[in-house]
A and B are shown apart, each in its own frame.
Chain A
Amino acid sequence: MKGRIFSVVGGMFLLTVCSKGDRGTVQAAPPAPQPAVSSDPTAGAAGGTITGKIKFTGVAPKNPAIDMSEEAACKAKYKTTPTEENVVAGPANALANVFIYVSAGVPAGQTFTAPTTPVVLDQNGCRYHPHVFGVMVGQNIEIKNSDPLLHNIKAIAKKNRPFNVSQPNAGMTKTVTFAAPEVMVNLECNVHGWMHAYVGVRPDPFYAVSGPDGSFSITGLPPGTYTIEAWHEKFGTQTATVTIAGTESKTANLTFAAH
């Protein structure tokens, strides 16, 4: 019941947003998604930085292969059989696709303006690119379909209004935003059961996604003591506490346990 009321309210909100007519246009995806850096209003020398590497112990489970034989157009985009991206391990047990964000320590009441550059979510070869990413509340996400077939994008969210839109043709785009902080919002495609993406919605720009080598960096942090939390779709979460004074750069390495 409550959820429904929210959805209605959220609906009205979305209506007002859409009515501004933000008809999305195709844009080139930004390089390896480090939204925090690109979207930090106070970017640059000011503020401290947290960098680190995400690793995991144990053996990474094998990613199941995806049978795309019923989607010739997607299958054609791969030389080898594509697999899911549940655990993307780098050299030396580096762990990619981990969402790292400051879960506590950012002074309450401090507000940050969302960057105007949209995050592009590309559906290409019947997979989501990127697989894990972060946005700020109110920041545009531009969903685009690069496959000549139907994808539907269903957002399963608790704090945000769920949506379910579809893109039958290649080149179609749709812009959406999230109204409330939520880690994580799940995106899925019901036409292709294997397609999943995860969005971390944050009120501040202090978040990052670990790269193929497991490294990440959160910049522009004002002095203070922060709890950073790392989220992985299979391995759960890890936290660490970091104290920043001035413009120094601290390292925080986090390690997950593969079970």
Chain B
Amino acid sequence: MDTFEPVIVAFCCHYCAYTAADMAGTMRYSYPPNVYIIRVPCSGKVDALHIMKAFQKGADGVYVAGCLEGDCHFKTGNIKAAHMVAYLKGLLDEIGIGAERLEMFTMSAGMGERFARIATDFTERIRKLGPNPAKAGSDKTDKVAVG
């Protein structure tokens, strides 16, 4: 298990989390390379489906990072995201993947150091949890273009 390198997808909102991630770079706060950032305009844009697919395609952990409570550039996006994440945690438990593989974080654009710390801590959390038990060979869905 000590050779296990988790793959973590971080959906980051453009205005705060993604900027904080850049800030971490500017400040040279290092964090594990396991975290892959996908930029979204607002954490509220993160679709439950994106998260599920991330896990299905093989993510060992996923987190959504948005602005601080009350600071959302789009008023309520981060709150909606938090609710969605809470709901999805339930589903992940149902599947048996485990709610703790998914998390919601908030930070301001200036918090490069916080971004790095969260990335580090979350990576450690997932490393301890071990690989996603439902890691897919490949996504076997095919959406049929009708209807």
Q: Do A and B bind each other?
A: no
